[in-house]
Each structure stands twice: as C-alpha cells, then as structure tokens.
Amino acid sequence: MKNTPRTEDLVVVFGPRTALAEHLLAMYRPANHRIMLVARDRQEARLLASRYRHAEVLTGSEAELQERWPRTVRAATVILCAFGLIHPAAPDWASHAQMLSRDLETIAAVLEKCRPCPVTVLFVSTALAAAPTRGRTYYVGWKYLSETLLEEALARHKSVRFCVLLPGRLVARKTLTRPLSLLHTSYAALARVIFTTARAPKTQRRVVGWDARALMMIRGVRLLIDGVLGCST
C-alpha cells in the first residue's frame, strides 16, 4: 500500500479510460490529491495500473475499498466521466441495467466510505437530454435514469454536492478544416470545466458548448410553439 498523508483530498474517477478522463487526470497533481480510478473489470484495471502509476486502481469491490481507502479524508470529489450506458447503443435492457446497477453499487460503497467528509459528485451527462434526436432517445433515457438514481443515492448522505454537466458533441480538437468542430467542445475544454466546477462551492447544472446551448434554444422554441398551439385549440 502506498504511503499517504494522514489527511488528504481524494479524487475518484469513474470511466478512467475515456479521452475526457485522460485530460482531466493530467490536471490533478498526486502531491495534492490521492487518486483512485474505478475500472470495470480486471483487464481494464491492469491497463490503467500500467498507465497511471501515481493512481490506485479499483474494480469497485467492497474488499478493495476496505483495504485501500485512506484512513482520513478531508474532502472527496467523485467524477463520473462514464456511468451506466456510456455511448448510444442498440436497446439491450438486461445488459445495460446490469451495467448501471454495478456502477450504482460502486458509488454507493464509495459514498459510504466518504460519509464523514464533504463530497462533490460530478456527473457528465449529455445535452441531448434537452432535445433528443431520432435514434438517441434510448441513450438519453438511460442518462435521465442514471441522474435520477444518482440523486436518490446522494440524498441519503449529508454534505454531498451534486453537479450535472450537459456537454454537446465532444471532439479531440477544433480545427478550421472541420468548421462544425468549432461549435463543439474539446475534451480538454470540458476537463477544465470539470476541474473548476469541482472547486466551486455551489451545486450546478451546467450546459457546456455552443452546440449544447443551441439544443437548449431549440427545446425552448419547441415548448413555446407547443404552448401557443395548445392554447389555441
């Protein structure tokens, strides 16, 4: 087990193999934070351990949490770069429900260990929740469900701040050769938003990116039109 300060700040990352997590982890200094990465299986855990030698890798088991959890934590930040259904996929209720249940069980165990200290939980959702496109309603539904179940889990604990980020499309980088990419959000930019949101004192539900804001405007216009037409009938 690694030698650690007696009291420290803890950062727990779900979805640590995502491009978003890669940019985010580059911002956290091991000297100031103890970093724990939640792997989905043993194979992913081995890959993460070889790549992030300054972090501890967990598979979410209760035994590992008991063994590796710091003796005293001053504050904890739990960042859900990936949670439940990660990408749009063909409907498969059984496997996707199992995926979400596993993540919920893991975060419940993490929150239980964090009970004595203040906790910030950041959930990266999607702006499609504002105006889902055809073929994305199943994916958006899982995001809604994930957020609702997270809220219920967090409500059982004191001193928990829950923040939800709603980005539009994420890209590796913006370039003039692909003009539409200028409207999207880069992984690096979203990582900076997560980093600053985690350090802010207030609960937030924040739309990120020009394309995400456009979706919100479209939703507002739709609601206005539906309201006017509904009143006129």
What pLDDT, on the 0 to 100 scale, is given for residue 121?
96
pTM recorded for the entire structure: 0.84
Sheet arrangement for strand 119-124: 56-58, 33-38, 7-14, 72-80, 119-124, 160-167, 205-208
Domain ranges of the chain: 7-232
CATH superfamily of 7-232: NAD(P)-binding Rossmann-like Domain (3.40.50.720)
Q: Can you give the pLDDT of all 233 residues of the chain as single tens digits?
A: 444 444 468 999 999 999 999 999 999 887 788 999 999 888 999 999 999 988 999 886 766 777 788 878 889 999 999 999 988 889 999 999 999 999 999 999 898 888 878 999 999 998 876 666 677 889 989 999 999 999 999 988 888 999 999 998 877 766 666 655 566 688 999 999 999 999 887 888 888 877 767 766 666 555 445 555 566 55
CB atoms within 10 A of CB 59: 15
CB atoms within 10 A of CB 212: 24
What pLDDT, on the 0 to 100 scale, is given for residue 1?
40
